[in-house]
Structure formats: C-alpha cells, structure tokens
Amino acid sequence: MTSGGRQTIVKKSVIYSLHITEVDRGRGIDHVAQQTAAHNTASFPLSHNKPAQGNQQRIYQAVKTRIVNCEMSPGETIYEDRLAQEFGTSRTPVREALLKLRNDNLVSIISRKGTFVSHITVQDVYEIYQIRQLLEPGIAVMVRQDVEPERLKQFAEAFEARTGNSVLPGDWFSLDRQFHTYLVECTGNHTLMELYEGIMNHQQRISILASRLPRRLESTAVEHRRIVEALQTGDAAQIERAVRAHIMAAWEASLRIEQLVR
C-alpha cells in the first residue's frame, strides 16, 4: 500500500463522516443521488456499455478474490493479455478492472514496468491493526445489547469446532470474516460497513500469511471464543479486553511473517 493509498483511506474516512451528517439531516443525499442518476441516464445512455461493464466487474471480482485469498502472491506480475484470454474479452475491460483494483490498493501499476499485486509492508500491517484497535473494541461494546443470542451461540459452536490441529485455513477465514462483519452490521451503520469491507480485504491477506505460523489458527480460534463469551455476558470491560487481546495477538503474529517485510 503506497503513501498515496494511505492518504486515500484518511480522505475517505473524512468523507464518510460527512455522509453520516448528511443522512441525519434527512433525505438530502437520496434526493441529490436521484437527481444525479436521472441526469446521467438522460445525458449518457448506458445500454451500449452494459456488456463491457459486466466484463469489467466480472474480471474485477475474480482478480480481487484471488489477491485477497493470496492465490496471487504479493509482487506477482499481472498480465493483461492473459486475463483477456482467460475471460474471453478485449484488454479494455481488463485494464479498467485493474484500475479499480489499484484504487483499492490491491495492485500497483508502474509505468513501463507493468502491473503487480501490491506488496504488504510492515507499515501496512501497522496501519491496518491501528485502525482495528481504534474501531473494533468500541463497536463490540456498542452492539453488545443488539447481537442475537442465537447467532452468538452458533459462532461459539463454530469456533469450538475449529479449535484444534485440523483447522483448514480457507474454512477458518470465511468464519472469521463472517464474525467480525456481523458485529459491524449490528451497528446498522452502512458507511461503517463499507469502510470495514475495505479494511478486511487487506486484513485477510495479512491473516492468510500469518496463518502459516505454527498453531496460529488454533490460537485465534480460542481468542474468538473469548470474544463471544464476553459478548454473552454483556460486560463492556470484558468485551473490550477480549477484542483488544485478539487484535494485539494477531498484530504480533503478522509482524513475524518474513514475507511482510518490504
């Protein structure tokens, strides 16, 4: 993630705050959005672009999934012609998809050199976990009265089942993301959900690399069980301690991954 990318995150956070303020004022944003959409539709007919847009989104989602799941390694070269051949398209939607991924800070496009999967740096790790430390303890405390007991029970059973040496990384990361995303969704704050989705795309790459450490998956399953148990008590101090302990343990594990040091 470049310094420009980090500035983008900060700018987006400010914009998100402004959005929340506008929503509280009433239907202003919806009205403006409707007017803008009507103007764009009238001025720029989109029907001829739908197939290209569909290809762009299809390529974007596929490559994004590969990067986030570390099926494509940090620093790996991305070839436009190969993607075009794979998806049966011209290079135009491929190029557009890669530009979107660059905006997500998942790829780097370097003039005269090519397009590459973004590296993960120690600074990236620091920033992601700093954001999580600022957000997640407060979120968990805030929603402690809103989480559904049955959902917490289901998560507790799932984490219990994955406490052991037979934990599969792919299975684990799906559950991990579901749990953290569920807590954010309980806030009902759609702007926060969107922000958190972007954070988790980078977090998942870090977590997959960290999972290669001995017994890390087993340890993180225990940490998540403690968070669930704390939420079941409803005790704010216990919840905050459990969430902070989990984030710090994950942070320390991530910094021990040799591949992250760039």
What pTM does this model have?
0.71
Q: Which two tokens stand for residue 7?
A: 């500035």
Coil, helix or strand at residue 107: strand
Residues of the chain with pLDDT under 50: 3, 6-48, 261
Listed residue (75, 64, 131, 66) closest to 262, CA to CA: 75
Domain 122-260 has CATH 3.20.20.140: no
| pLDDT tens digits, 106-148 | 999 999 999 999 998 889 999 999 999 999 999 999 999 999 9
Same fold, 47-119 and 122-260: no
State residue 19's pLDDT score.
40
| pLDDT tens digits, 157-183 | 988 887 665 666 667 788 889 999 999
Architecture, CATH, for domain 47-119: Orthogonal Bundle (1.10)
**Domains of the chain: which residue ranges?**
1-45, 47-119, 122-260
Torsions phi, psi for 77 (to 5 deg)? -75, 140
State residue 217's pLDDT score.
76
β 107-110/114-117 pair status: antiparallel
State residue 212's pLDDT score.
73
State residue 162's pLDDT score.
74
